Amino acid sequence: MQDIISITAIASVSPLGSSDETIWDNYQNGGHCFTEHEFNGKKAFAAFLDETSKQKVAEVKQSDHKYKSLDNSVLYAISTSREAIRKAGWKKTDIFGINLGSSRGATDLFEKHFTDFIETGKAQTLASPTTTLGNISSWVAHDLQSSGPEVSHSITCSTALHAMLNGIAWLRAGMSDKFLVGGSEAPLTDFTIAQMQAMKIYARESQEFPCRAFDLDKKQNTMILGEAASVCCLEIGKKANALAFIEGFGYATEILEHSTSISAEADCFQKSMAMALQNTKLSEVDVVVMHAPGTIKGDASEYHAIRKIFGEALPLLTTNKWKVGHTFGASGLLSVELAVLMLQRQKFVGVPFAKAQQSEKPIRKILINAVGFGGNAVSILISKA
């Protein structure tokens, strides 16, 4: 039983809210979280934190004078980490590991400091220590007064699920009994939006659902960015307070033709899913939460990979990016959050504009996918507690 990993808590701040009830209600209402905002003088869609999440983050910033100079990505991580360990019942005296990452890191602060340097030729005193990638986990460790290992990393959009992989490895190696894992991202800045637009993958049209994630018939790319942080508490063994259990995990790296490419049938996803499912009958998988960023090639290649693995007997397929946008390094854990909510409430959350899917089976096992630039795919299989 010691190989079993329990997910004992999940916490997030996102455009969906910060409480389980609010998040679930937002998934049920059928609408999206996008608003038009001006970036570098041009309007573009984005998904910002909801007001309650903003208030939680503001409270963190005010709780310690040292936090006033931190980037939003760090503040988001501190807020969600505090909530996660509260939910899990961990004490500050407990020894637990921390692995939190980000695709972009201190995006807003870095851009501001660099702009100041270009204009004045001088860097501010805190420019370096507040923009290093490692400050996400280290500030969370400071805030929680943790005495266990702490790791930060960036593996683009699969960062949060790679953090989960690392947590699983530490727990199974017997090097820790508890691990806090996840990702945080605050990418809604002029330069970041401009980068996505330069790749011609960002949504350009206003329509009922601006991000057409998992619309396999779309004629143009429709990715939209959102901001969020999501973390979960992992514990070795089958815990009585578990929300779900980790049944399997897989990972793979794509052989790339260029820095953002993915093969037509997402070889990396085929390998990561096959690895995660090696001890599970395919018929036992009830839902796949897809990465599906809303791009033509990204959505289609992942769908073809799923078809390769499952054949004609497909599980129910869904994604949350049509609603909340692509939150880069935090996105994988937001998908895990959706999966856990579906397991708990025994209700499938589909994509409103996709072909309707039905199943009379109870939801027992869900596979979650994430992949990032560089073709770093991760698949996590979780089951109902």
pLDDT tens string, the chain, 385 residues long: the values are 458 999 999 999 999 999 999 999 999 998 999 999 999 999 999 999 999 999 999 999 999 999 999 999 999 999 999 999 999 999 878 999 999 999 999 999 999 999 999 999 999 999 999 999 889 999 999 999 999 999 999 999 999 999 999 999 999 999 999 999 999 999 999 999 999 999 999 999 888 999 999 999 999 999 999 999 999 999 999 999 999 999 999 999 987 665 555 666 789 999 999 999 999 999 999 999 999 999 999 999 999 999 999 999 999 999 999 999 999 999 999 999 999 999 999 999 999 999 889 888 999 999 999 998 777 999 999 999 9
Which long-range contacts does 305-309 make (Cβ < 8 Å, 24+ apart)?
Answer: 305/265, 305/266, 305/267, 305/269, 305/270, 305/273, 306/269, 306/273, 308/265, 308/270, 309/270, 309/273, 309/274, 309/277, 309/282
Non-local (6+) Cβ contacts of 123 within 8 A are: 113, 116, 117
Check residue 143 and give its pLDDT: 96
**Residues in the chain, how many?**
385
Query: CATH assignment of 5-236, given 3.30.1360.120, 3.30.1490.20, 3.40.47.10, 2.60.40.10?
Result: 3.40.47.10
Which CATH class name applies to 247-384?
Answer: alpha beta
Q: What is the pLDDT of residue 3?
A: 83
Q: Give the tokens for residue 375.
A: 């073709």
What is the reported pLDDT for 34?
98
| Residue 111 CB burial class (10 angstroms; 0-12, 13-18, ≥19) | middle
- With b for 16 or more beta-carbon neighbours within 10 A and e for fewer, the 207-228 pattern comes to eebbbbbbbeebeebbbbbbbb
d(CA 183, CA 200): 25
User: Quick one: tokens of 8?
Assistant: 């004992």
Instruction: Report the C-alpha gap between 345 and 210 in whole angstroms.
Output: 28
> Global pTM?
0.96
Pairing mode, strands 35-39 and 42-46: antiparallel
Structure tokens given for 255:
């052989």
**Whose CA is closest to 166, among 385, 336, 378?**
378
Q: Which residues pair with 228 in a beta bridge?
A: 185
Crossing angle between the packed helical segments 267-276 and 296-310, to the nearest 10 degrees: 40
pLDDT at 261: 54
Q: What six digits make up the tokens of 270? A: 């085929």
Domain with CATH 3.40.47.10 in the chain: 5-236, 247-384
Question: Which segments of 204-291 are extended strands (E)?
Answer: 228-236, 244-253, 287-289
Written as one string, the DSSP assignment of 159-179 is HHHHHHHHHHHHHHTTS-SEE
* Residue 316 parent element (H or E): strand 316-318
pLDDT of residue 1: 44
Is the alpha carbon torsion for 39, 43, 45, 48 positive or negative? positive
230 phi and psi angles, rounded to 5 deg: -145, 135
